[in-house]
A and B are shown apart, each in its own frame.
Chain A
């Protein structure tokens, strides 16, 4: 079966690339004067060393990474380079936090969906700004989404010191979400919450949608060859592009509201440790395949969990994981000489009539 062969090839490729990235990490550790073996073994233990590490460190980090990774994938598939998952995730979390205040006596069965949907809508709206700027004014979304990330960061900072701050006004953070409204924990004694099931369902839904529906096909067609999609396919390209911005933002916003209801239970300034940026690596390594995103998000969840353990147990700064992620992206680029299909990017000097 070709699908299985493709799966095996992708797996082999990821293993090879990961091996190379780990080798480079080892070199980096040596250069910065750390002991390689204790550091790497702390990393592996932190990610996979125990039941608790797997459930409450690795898989728990996989959840936001997978949702944000799906967001990036959907956009890239349409030829949109959405670098703004981070900002969309933040406003998603902020919206969920804001609406949780109005959910006093509501049961979690109603309350959780309300918070998740609020996050999704806010994320979609945030992405729509970049979408509108691109369609109306030809502003490159690469720049606009990054700018919006910074704006979202300051917006969050203001919210947790202003309207959403906890009543005692001591800490710059929101009130803790009432236990009755928290996402159910799946395994007793761990942090593994129901969000992981949601992620799997969403990934399957996105995969099916891209593959089997007319609108999914339109999105892929626009990403592959916008000119042909419009002339031969009769596709309304701007409308499809805008839809892709929205869907991407919805998924990233959902990542924020799931993280809020499932893990942090509060909004604070450094709510996201850069999940939105890591998501770019997640999506690229998965070759933008929605189901592949689940696998690569798990891998990056392990890397992040491992990096934290490495800092704790071996004194290696955890930011070193960004270097590994960046190297993985570069290795993917080198391995594939990969260029994403895209619609014409307006805004910089490019030919086009």
Chain B
């Protein structure tokens, strides 16, 4: 009997962990899937972080007045607008992508902080937003272990089950997807085939921005239920690591996002289990340490300075 109880307990812990994993992975997957498109077009957007935080704040403001659906729309739009500013410099003027992205992140963090404090005051009042309802899919959600984790989630998570395979198909099988990859991998060939690199990159960056905006909206509306200044907390950069780990392929990226979701959820689990001997800050640092490890392992080994 004892064994059965332990087994049931472990299963419940596992199911809970998996549920938290999917929930935390959702915003990361949005941001990383968008960024994979942008990077395929040859643009690395460090300003993704800026789109996420702008999406989060816009979703917060919009959800309060026009509801959760409007919050997601506003988040996507804000993320897109921030990415448009990035595109103006990085694609339009061909300014350095990394420097531009850094400036865009700084810009968005400052702007959202200013707007947030102007709209809600700086008293640190706990702000709660309406949250996206979870929909349990009949039948599937009753599956042991994975049921609730994958099939009792908000619509934003289900949308990813469509977006990731669609993107994979689009990149591999459509003319536009081919053009996108050509622009990133072999721009000269793309140009001689009559493809405009700038227009392609612009659309890729805007798409990535909208997706990052959705990531921010998901963070607020499907996960935290509140807005906190700087709550993007490096997710834009983690998303870039996820893209690398997923090898720029949408399905791989989605899987990599789950891994990062797991790393973040473990921290909550360990804290809940009262592992007080280990400082909680160590768990908080895990996603960032994991990013470093993942990048080190997946980068082209032995590829030193090309001389």
Contact = CB atoms under 8 A, between A and B. Distances in A.
Interface size classification for chain A? 35 or more
Contacts of B103: 281, 326, 329-330, 333
A319 B109 contact: yes
Nearest to B108: A326
Residue picked from B284, B299, B305, B306, most chain A C-beta under 10 Å: B305
Given A137-B296, A320-B114, A146 B234 contact: yes
A334 B110 contact: no
A189 B305 CA distance: 53
A198 to B, nearest CB: 27
Contacts of A226: 305-307
Interface in A299-353: 316-317, 319-327, 329-330, 333-334, 337-340, 343-344, 346-349, 352-353
Given A33-B118, A162-B279, A333 B110 contact: no
Given A32-B118, A227-B307, A319-B110, A329 B99 contact: yes
B244 interface: yes
Contacts of B3: none
Interface string B45-81: 0100000000000000000000000000000000000
Q: Is the interface of A mostly helix, strand, loop or mixed?
A: helix
Contact of B114 (A32, A161, A277, A337): A32
A333 B89 contact: yes
A154 B102 CA distance: 22
A346 B307 CA distance: 12
B261 interface: no
Given A143-B295, A155-B281, A326-B110, A348 B44 contact: yes
B237 interface: yes
A227 B113 CA distance: 43
Interface string A123-142: 00000000001011111101
A329 B107 CA distance: 10
Interface size classification for chain B? 35 or more
A200 interface: no
Given A81-B98, A343-B305, A158 B279 contact: yes
Contacts of A209: none
Contacts of B299: 137-139, 346-347
B117 A317 contact: yes
B100 interface: yes
A340 B103 CA distance: 15
A158 B281 CA distance: 6
Given A226-B305, A238-B304, A317-B122, A133 B288 contact: no
A338 B289 contact: no
Nearest to A81: B98
B285 A151 contact: yes
B291 A147 contact: yes
Contacts of B114: 28, 32, 316-317, 319-320, 323
A244 B284 CA distance: 30
Nearest to A316: B114
A144 B240 CA distance: 11
A59 interface: no
A137 B301 contact: yes
Interface string A213-228: 0000000000000110
7 contacts: A137-B295, A138-B300, A154-B284, A226-B305, A317-B122, A319-B229, A324-B110
Interface of B: 39, 44, 46, 85, 89, 93-96, 98-100, 102-104, 106-107, 109-111, 113-115, 117-118, 122, 184-185, 229, 233-234, 237, 240-241, 244, 248, 279, 281-282, 284-285, 288-289, 291-292, 295-297, 299-301, 303-307
In the A-B complex, the 5 residue pairs with the smallest Cβ-Cβ separation, listed nearest first, are A322-B110, A326-B107, A319-B113, A329-B103, A230-B307
Given A146-B234, A238-B305, A349-B184, 8 more contacts: A133-B295, A133-B296, A138-B303, A138-B304, A143-B240, A148-B288, A321-B110, A326-B110
